[in-house]
C-alpha cells in the first residue's frame, strides 16, 4: 500500500486549496447544531501525532501506541471546522477530537469529529463539523499550541496518538489525505440499475468521486461523496455500465453507517486475487465502484472506473 502521509514539510510548501471535492450536505449533516457560517478568511492548522506524545493517567485507560503516527489538518472558517486526518500503524480509530491542553498535560475535549469506530480498512478521512462557540474558535486560531489533536482506538481508549497544533501560513487542500491512485470513477444515483424486486437503488441527488490503485494483491481506494446518507458499504463490482455485477473487491463495511461528519474516506483492501488486480488495470471500464446506504441498500451511487494516468489522457 502507498502510505503517503501528509507531513509538516508538505504543508509548509503550500499545497493548493480547492482541488478536492468533499462537501457537507443536507443528507449527511454535520453533527453540531446551528446554521453553517463560512464568513471570513479560512485559517489552517496542522498537527503531527504520535504515540509517544500521549500522557498516561495513573489508573486511567491505556494510552500511547508506540508505533502509531498520524497527521491532521483543519480549516476554520466561520463556524465550520473541516478536517483531514491520515494515520498509520494504529488500530481502527474509535474517536477523533481536539482537546485543550499544552504538550505536557491532558485536557478536555473541545471539538469532536467522530465518536464511533471506523472500518478497519480505512487509513484516512475528511469531513466537517459546526462549532458555535466563537470564543473557542478564536482561541484555537490565536493560540493553536494550547490545543492538541487526539485519535483513540479500542486498544488505546485513552488515546493512541496525539499532537499539538501549529498554524499554517498557506492554504491546504484537505483532500490530499485521500490520494489513492490513477483509476477513477464519477459515481451518481442515475447510474444505479434497479433490480426487479430487489432493494432500493439510486439516490437521485447523490454523487461521489473515487480513486483506485490495484497492485500486489491490494487495492487502495478513496471516496469523496455528497448528498447521500451515511455510507454503510463500499465495493468494486465487475460489470459494464447498465448491468449489475458481482462484488469482486469489498472495500469497507460500516454497519451503522459512517459517522455523519465524514464526507471522504481512503483505505486499502487486502488479499485481493491477482487476476482481479490485473483485470482492473487492463480493463477498468469493466468494473464499477458502488456506495450503499441504509436508504438505498442496493446502491446509492455507482460509477464505471476509468484510467486517469498521463498515458491515457487526450
Residue 4 pLDDT: 34
Alpha-carbon radius of gyration of the chain: 20
- Judged against a pLDDT cut of 60, whether residue 24 lies above it is answered with no
Average pLDDT over residues 22-29: 34
C-alpha to C-alpha distances, 31 to 91, 122, 178, 206, 242, nearest whole angstrom: 24, 21, 22, 20, 36
Residue 37 pLDDT: 80
Query: Nearest-CA neighbor of 172 among 260, 82, 233?
Result: 82
Across the chain, mean pLDDT equals 89
pLDDT tens column, 227-283:
999 999 999 999 999 999 999 999 999 999 999 999 999 999 999 999 999 999 999
Quickly list DSSP for 32-60: S-S-----S--EEEEEEEEGGG----TTS
Helices (H) and strands (E) in the chain, counts: 3, 16
pLDDT tens column, 153-183:
999 999 999 999 999 999 999 999 998 899 9
Residue 30 pLDDT: 38
- Judged against a pLDDT cut of 70, whether residue 297 lies above it is answered with yes
Residue 312 pLDDT: 55
What's the CA gap between 22 and 300, in Å, rounded? 17
- Which position has the higher pLDDT, 138 or 20? 138
Average pLDDT over residues 84-111: 98
Neighbour count for residue 23 (Cβ, 10 Å): 17
- Separation of CA 264 from chain center: 4
Average pLDDT over residues 55-73: 97
Residue 137 pLDDT: 98
21 pLDDT band, cuts 50/70/90, is: very low
- Intervals of CATH 2.60.40 along the chain: 180-308
11 pLDDT band, cuts 50/70/90, is: very low
Whether the full predicted model's pTM is greater than 0.85, yes or no, is yes
206 pLDDT band, cuts 50/70/90, is: very high
- Residues with Cβ within 8 Å of 212's Cβ and at least 6 positions away in sequence, in order, are 180, 181, 183, 184, 185, 219, 220, 221, 222, 236, 280, 284, 289, 305
Average pLDDT over residues 208-223: 97
- Which position has the higher pLDDT, 55 or 27? 55
pLDDT tens column, 36-45:
887 889 999 9
CATH code for the part of the protein at 180-308: 2.60.40
SS3 annotation, 233-268: EEEEEECCCCCCCCEEEEEEECCCCCCCCEEEEEEE
- Residues with Cβ within 8 Å of 161's Cβ and at least 6 positions away in sequence, in order, are 49, 50, 51, 53, 54, 65, 68, 69, 70, 87, 90, 150, 151
- Judged against a pLDDT cut of 90, whether residue 10 lies above it is answered with no
- Judged against a pLDDT cut of 70, whether residue 25 lies above it is answered with no
Residue 22 pLDDT: 30
Amino acid at each position: 500500500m502507498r502510505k503517503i502521509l501528509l507531513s509538516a514539510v508538505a504543508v509548509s510548501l503550500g499545497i493548493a486549496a480547492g482541488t478536492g471535492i468533499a462537501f457537507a450536505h443536507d443528507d449527511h449533516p454535520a453533527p453540531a447544531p446551528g446554521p453553517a457560517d463560512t464568513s471570513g478568511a479560512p485559517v489552517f492548522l496542522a498537527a503531527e501525532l504520535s504515540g509517544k506524545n500521549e500522557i498516561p493517567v495513573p489508573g486511567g485507560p491505556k494510552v500511547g501506541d508506540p508505533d502509531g503516527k498520524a497527521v491532521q489538518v483543519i480549516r476554520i472558517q466561520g463556524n465550520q471546522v473541516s478536517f483531514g486526518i491520515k494515520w498509520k500503524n494504529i488500530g481502527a480509530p474509535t474517536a477523533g477530537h481536539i482537546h485543550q491542553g499544552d504538550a505536557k498535560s491532558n485536557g478536555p475535549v473541545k471539538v469532536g469529529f467522530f465518536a464511533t469506530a471506523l472500518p478497519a480498512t480505512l487509513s484516512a478521512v475528511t469531513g466537517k463539523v459546526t462549532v458555535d462557540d466563537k470564543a473557542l474558535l478564536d482561541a484555537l486560531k490565536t493560540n493553536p499550541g494550547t490545543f492538541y489533536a487526539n485519535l483513540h482506538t479500542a486498544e488505546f481508549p485513552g488515546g493512541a496518538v496525539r499532537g499539538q497544533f501549529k498554524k499554517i501560513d498557506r492554504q491546504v487542500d484537505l483532500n490530499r489525505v485521500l490520494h489513492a491512485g490513477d483509476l477513477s470513477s464519477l459515481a451518481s444515483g442515475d447510474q444505479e440499475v434497479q433490480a426487479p424486486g430487489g432493494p432500493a437503488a439510486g439516490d437521485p441527488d447523490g454523487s461521489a468521486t473515487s480513486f483506485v490503485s490495484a497492485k500486489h494483491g491490494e487495492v487502495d481506494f478513496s471516496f469523496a461523496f455528497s448528498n447521500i446518507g451515511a455510507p454503510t458499504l463500499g465495493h468494486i463490482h465487475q460489470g459494464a455500465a447498465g448491468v449489475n455485477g458481482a462484488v469482486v473487491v469489498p472495500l469497507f463495511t460500516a454497519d451503522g453507517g459512517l459517522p455523519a461528519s465524514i464526507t471522504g474516506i481512503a483505505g486499502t483492501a487486502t488479499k485481493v486475487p491477482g487476476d482481479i488486480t490485473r483485470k482492473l488495470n487492463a480493463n477498468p471500464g469493466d468494473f464499477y465502484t458502488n456506495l450503499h446506504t441504509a436508504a438505498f441498500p442496493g446502491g446509492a451511487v455507482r460509477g464505471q472506473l476509468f484510467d486517469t494516468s498521463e498515458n491515457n489522457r487526450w
